[in-house]
A and B are shown apart, each in its own frame.
Chain A
Amino acid sequence: MSEKLLLGLSRRQVIRGLLATTAFGVTVKFGTGCTSEGSEQAAADSGTGGGDGQPITIGFIYVGSKDDYGYNQAHAQGAQGMVDKFSGQVNLVEQASVPETTEVQEAMRSMIDTDGAIALFPTSFGYFDPHIIKVAEEYPEVQFFHAGGLYNEGLPDNIGSYFGYIDEAQYIAGIVAAMTSRSGKLGFVGAKPIPQVLRNINSYTLGARSVKPEVTTQVIFTGNWAEPIKEAEATNSMVDQGIDVVTCHVDSPKVVMETAEKRGIYCTGYHADQSALAPKGYLTGAEWDWTNIYSKIAEDILAGKTLVDGGIEHILRGGLKEGFCKLSAYGSAVSADTQKAADDVLAQFMDGSMVIYKGELKDNQGNVVIASGQEMKQLDPKLEEMNYLVEGVSGSIGS
């Protein structure tokens, strides 16, 4: 008799379902409880900081943890640098480890509704479509800035995009790598063959081959942004093949740098300064420098400018010259000659005379991708659709 059916379900199934739902709810609640800690903290801060001058609140959202030695750390440092510059005028609200799902919409809404943020920086590439677009329509008075450059005409007016040409720094890192390498073989651990990654690989290789034309770059794609074991295996395999300088384009370069140091080879960093991870082998690195750009935007907002009235550009771009990126300090293994060669090119970037992509340029299949005599300046939109690997790169963009 105990097996009476309730809405077609046995009592056992109902209890089982309830229990599983409760357990799921409890654990998920626990998860959000710890991620929103930062914003509560910041909300408390804004409560105490509100006095004369009415500070504005700016929100930052990161896809991973803020101290990952990588992409998110670079953004978090930039945000912190910006707040330090405008202390008392700008309050910072942050939330880390927000997945690229509707969860980011909730994070944005809570920053606007609860913390009173008037500008948001959701920093991950995948936040843009549809999440930022949707929330931007809901809150036309709030300004949204997205890193990664997917903005185009027709989208809501209160969205802007900013991104840096970090491949300029990779070009110089390539020069340093080529001049320090003994085997003439460089390695690059990439996540996925998308244009941004390909552009970094190509610039790194072109930089290397500008000083030593016989240098080659071996590329290994791991298939995803965070694959610690595959990144370690990739680095080890490259060392076994005689490669003696590696760099990478993954979310957190920590594994690649530490593995390279363990195996006694050189490395050049990416995203942030990783010299602490490889004190002996770290040569230099391509770092983001978001403090400049964040400060500039904050200054504009404080001055009352907005994206809607055109006071702030919808598309902000720049490289070394504009202060979007920079190089890590040279490591102890970099010779004086190498430093000089790299500094010379850096000076060319700084005065705007340097062009990385110019003809005649062939891809690694032998096809001409830029005809001789042609130049592609950094702003050229064609470069943002890059779908080839240049001559000297060993690897394939097919899956």
Chain B
Amino acid sequence: MAAEATQAIGWWGVLLAIAAGTMRGGTPFLFVSLGECLTEKSGKINLGLEGTLLTGAMTAYGVSYLTGSPWLGVIAAGIAGALLGVIHGWLSQQPRVNDVAVGIAMIIFGSGIAFFFGKPFIQPKAPQLPTIDLGNWSDIPALQAALQITPLFLLGLAIAPVMNWFFRSTRWGLFVRAVGDSPEAARAMGVSIFKVRMLSIIAGSFLAGIGGASLSLYYPGLWTERISSGQGLMAVALVIFARWNPIQCLWASLLFGGAQALGPALQSVGIKEGYYLFNAAPYILTLFIMIFTCSSKKMISGAPGALGTSS
């Protein structure tokens, strides 16, 4: 007990907390933003990923608790997310339906589902995902703890370049981009716009569900109704910030994850003033990025052409 060393690491703690925060807190951002990136590339917006994230977190925790297998929980979270994706994919492609409005309804629906079925899982303790300890070479306990990373993070790290390659170099990736950029051209190619968008939304929601699993089964590692605290919505903004590029989604997620750790870490070394400001750091960052990247004259470079249109 209390093996934790008594030596304080002072200011290094802030850097360490941010570094650890990028991996701990960045994982859900990473999955949701990759999912949203795929969805938006096909020309549809899915704001409902906030609800998907909550449903994923609840499903993962519940299944992990009931079956004793956290990995089964991760898969179940993905499937639960995909089911919500089916609803969004179908609804948002009906004639004259606005995908933003459907997305907002899906936020409420997804969180309602999660709260309703999640009631019995608030108290019990579910088995957590195993972590990969990269810090065993060091004898500083703080470093060891910071380097306990989840396999889900590595999975997300792998998905980002794969998705980038998928968009650039595969036939299917071309279909997704074509449908997103110019639906007419895609239709002329003989590609079913409905099917491509449906599959993109389902796959994107599957990833967001897994993002939820990383919240409830890794960090902070529990199920409460307040667990997502708006991360699903932040991730949607993050995709714009990342210019619909999966690799940049990765960097953006790490940045936002690290920013979350800033407020508490600074307080722990004695920067007492302005913690509300530090806590708001990620949001302020988002706001500035939005201001600097928006333009009334032209579309943001990299934006799928058909995004937000009803075609």
Contact = CB atoms under 8 A, between A and B. Distances in A.
A19 B226 CA distance: 28
A266 B1 CA distance: 8
Contact of A19 (B9, B25, B101): B101
B1 A280 contact: yes
A67 B121 CA distance: 9
Given A68-B122, A255-B222, A399-B275, 18 more contacts: A23-B101, A31-B112, A65-B122, A65-B225, A69-B123, A183-B6, A223-B263, A233-B21, A233-B25, A234-B264, A237-B14, A240-B268, A241-B10, A241-B268, A264-B4, A276-B125, A280-B1, A396-B273
Interface in A236-263: 236-242, 244, 252, 254-255, 258-259, 262-263
Interface in B215-236: 219-222, 224-227, 229
A395 B267 contact: yes
B109 A233 contact: no
Interface size class of A (residues with CB under 8 A): 35 or more
Contact of A398 (B101, B141, B273): B273
A24 B105 contact: yes
A69 B265 CA distance: 26
A262 to B, nearest CB: 8
Given A239-B4, A241-B8, A241-B9, A395 B221 contact: no
B33 interface: no
B145 interface: yes
Nearest to B109: A27
Nearest to A256: B220
B288 interface: no
Contacts of A259: 220
B142 interface: yes
Interface string B1-45: 111111111100110110011001100000000000000000000
Given A23-B105, A69-B123, A228-B222, A237 B275 contact: no
Interface of B: 1-10, 13-14, 16-17, 20-21, 24-25, 96-98, 101-102, 104-105, 108-109, 112, 115-116, 119, 122-123, 125, 141-142, 145-146, 219-222, 224-227, 229, 260-261, 263-265, 267-270, 272-276, 279
27 contacts: A16-B97, A19-B101, A24-B108, A27-B112, A30-B116, A31-B112, A69-B123, A97-B225, A183-B6, A185-B8, A227-B226, A233-B260, A237-B261, A237-B267, A238-B268, A239-B4, A239-B141, A240-B142, A240-B145, A242-B6, A244-B2, A244-B6, A263-B145, A264-B141, A266-B2, A280-B1, A396-B273
Interface string A207-245: 000000000001111110011111111101111111010
B268 A230 contact: no
Nearest to B275: A221
A399 B276 contact: yes
A240 B102 CA distance: 44
Given A221-B275, A226-B226, A399-B276, A281 B142 contact: no
A277 B145 CA distance: 19
A229 B229 contact: yes
Contact of A20 (B16, B101, B270): B101
A277 B20 contact: no
A102 interface: no
B13 A240 contact: yes
Contacts of B2: 182, 244, 264-266, 281, 333
Given A27-B105, A27-B112, A34-B116, A15 B8 contact: no
A374 interface: no
Given A68-B122, A233-B260, A266-B2, A30 B109 contact: yes
A367 interface: no
A9 to B, nearest CB: 13
B123 A16 contact: no
